[in-house]
């Protein structure tokens, strides 16, 4: 009887410990870099110094395609967006972005910036924590995120890149 009890206890322990998952928490960044091309659609006869040129461009980034995130996809338990910041690159010294809205598909505008020049450092807008939760929910459920940028510039043609960065806290389980 003692032997059966000992074997049962060992078997039970093996089952319990082999079925336990360990949880790992990691911090990483999802970057969505949206290239923007502003075309000059006006004739030379109607151009003026105070003219603005509109643009709108979007890009979808998949978690599976992102080098920082693809290793976490299979064992993802939770995903939170901790922070958000934006960098603008490719703006020439005589160019500026008059205004720009950054939107997330399914949420709407999350940040607006004005008077962005080539010398501007990365921008870190204050975003309500409930918006960050919504972004995290979209990322977890859809495994992708679509970023839309739209606004106006002071000149055209013009090419620049809107680099958005989402700082993520990811919890994974390992079998």
Amino acid 61: pLDDT: 93
Q: Do β-strands 144-153 and 53-62 pair in parallel, antiparallel, or remain unpaired?
A: antiparallel
Measured CA to CA in angstroms, residue 32 lies from 54, 77, 79, 109 at distances of 21, 23, 17, 16
| Residue 25: Cβ within 10 Å count | 11
CB 24 within 8 A of CB 172: yes
pLDDT in tens, the chain (175 residues): 555 655 455 555 545 455 556 778 888 899 999 999 998 876 554 555 568 899 999 999 998 887 777 777 777 788 899 999 999 999 999 999 999 999 999 999 999 999 999 889 999 999 999 999 999 999 989 999 999 999 999 999 999 999 999 999 988 877 5
Q: Do β-strands 108-117 and 53-62 pair in parallel, antiparallel, or remain unpaired?
A: unpaired
Give the separation between CA 131 and CA 125, rounded to whole angstroms: 12
- 145 Cβ contact partners less than 8 Å away, ≥ 6 residues apart: 30, 32, 60, 61, 104, 105, 135, 138, 139, 166
The CATH class that applies to domain 22-174 reads mainly beta
Amino acid 60: pLDDT: 95
Amino acid 104: pLDDT: 97
- 41 Cβ contact partners less than 8 Å away, ≥ 6 residues apart: 53, 156
Amino acid 147: pLDDT: 98
Amino acid 170: pLDDT: 86
| Residue 98: Cβ within 10 Å count | 15
Measured CA to CA in angstroms, residue 107 lies from 42, 85, 104 at distances of 33, 17, 5
- 30 Cβ contact partners less than 8 Å away, ≥ 6 residues apart: 61, 63, 66, 68, 69, 139, 145, 165, 166, 168
Encoding tokens for residue 32?
């969505």
Amino acid 45: pLDDT: 45
Chain-centroid distance, C-alpha 32: 6
For the chain, the 3-state helix, strand and coil shares in percent, each to the nearest 5, are: 25, 50, 25
Amino acid 74: pLDDT: 76
Can you give the pTM of this predicted structure? 0.81
Amino acid 149: pLDDT: 98
Q: Which of 50, 83, 80 is nearest to 154 (CA)?
A: 50
């Amino acid at each position: 009887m003692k032997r059966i009890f000992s074997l049962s206890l060992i078997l039970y322990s093996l089952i319990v410990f082999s079925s336990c998952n360990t949880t790992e928490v990691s911090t990483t960044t999802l970057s969505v870099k949206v290239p923007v091309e502003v075309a000059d659609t006006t004739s030379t006869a109607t151009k003026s110094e105070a003219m603005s040129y509109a643009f709108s461009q979007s890009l979808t980034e998949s978690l599976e395609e992102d080098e920082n995130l693809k290793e976490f996809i299979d064992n993802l338990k939770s995903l939170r967006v901790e922070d958000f910041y934006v960098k603008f690159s490719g703006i020439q010294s005589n160019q500026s972005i008059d205004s720009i809205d950054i939107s997330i598909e399914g949420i709407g505008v999350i940040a607006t910036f004005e008077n962005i020049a080539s010398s501007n450092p990365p921008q870190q807008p204050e975003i309500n924590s409930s918006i960050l939760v919504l972004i995290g929910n979209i990322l977890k459920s859809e495994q992708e995120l679509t970023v839309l940028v739209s606004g106006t510039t002071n000149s055209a043609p013009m090419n620049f890149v809107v680099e958005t960065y989402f700082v993520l806290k990811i919890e994974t389980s390992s079998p």
